[in-house]
Amino acid sequence: MFLRVYMRELEKLAAERAREAVKYDKLGMREEAVANYKEAIQLLLKLIRFTEDPVMKRVYEEKAKQYKERLEALLEKSLESAYTPTKNGKQHEGYHIIDPPPVKWDDVIGLEEAKKALKESIIYPSLRPEFFPLGWPRGILFFGPPG
């Protein structure tokens, strides 16, 4: 008795998450769609584990497979759009983040040496690569406790 109620609730939740995922997918809200597809897949996998009916098990497996394929396509698409190739001066191909985080230099209190090092080795060369014909470091290793 309890298992049937549990299965019905799982089925309702899976259907609800799948509907939300499709809705967000159509609206272009990838992060929400991905989260809902993942949750729907997890719920369907639980249903597959607890279901004894082979017909229903096949239905759940097919739906989980469809959602996994769509999830992989969304993740692949978001990886492609997160980094876009740029070309400058000597056909140098690099990548830049489309939506940088909204943190300003003034938000970081203190750490003047670290901010100066970042500006000199990362920010300035990426803004004006023609002034750095020999190249520049692609990153800085910071050490010590966070904060």
Question: pLDDT digits over 41-53, tens only?
Answer: 999 998 888 888 8
Within-domain flag for 89: no
The per-residue pLDDT for 89 is 44
Taking the alpha carbons of 113, 119, 125, 131 in that order, is the dihedral positive or negative? negative
Smallest Cα–Cα separation from 60: which of 43, 73, 35? 43
* pLDDT exceeds cutoff 90 at 16: yes
Q: Is residue 29 part of a domain?
A: yes
Answer whether residue 144 is part of any domain.
no
Record the pTM.
0.53
Clarify whether residues 71 and 121 are in a common domain: no
Q: Are residues 69 and 31 in the same domain?
A: yes
> The domain spanning residue 65 has which CATH number?
1.20.58.80
Asked whether residue 37 is assigned to any structural domain, the reply reads: yes
Tokens representing 12 are 């309702």
**Residue 121: what pLDDT?**
81
Within a domain: 136? no
Indicate if 33 and 77 belong to the same structural domain. Answer: yes
Residue 38 counted as domain residue? yes
Q: Do both 78 and 105 map to the same domain?
A: no
Are 68 and 7 in a shared domain?
yes
Across 7-34, average pLDDT = 89
Report the share of the chain in percent with pLDDT over 90: 15
Asked if 21 and 53 sit in the same domain, the reply is: yes
Domain extent at residue 60: 2-82
Which residues, including other chains, have CB under 8 Å from residue 17's CB and lie 6 or more apart? 36, 37, 39, 40, 43
Position with higher pLDDT, 98 vs 60: 60
**Quick one: 74 and 34 in the same domain?**
yes
> What pLDDT score does 20 carry?
92
Given a cut of 90, whether residue 87 has pLDDT beyond it is no
Same domain, 21 and 56: yes
Count of the separate structural domains present in the chain = 2
| Higher-scoring residue by pLDDT: 142, 96 | 142
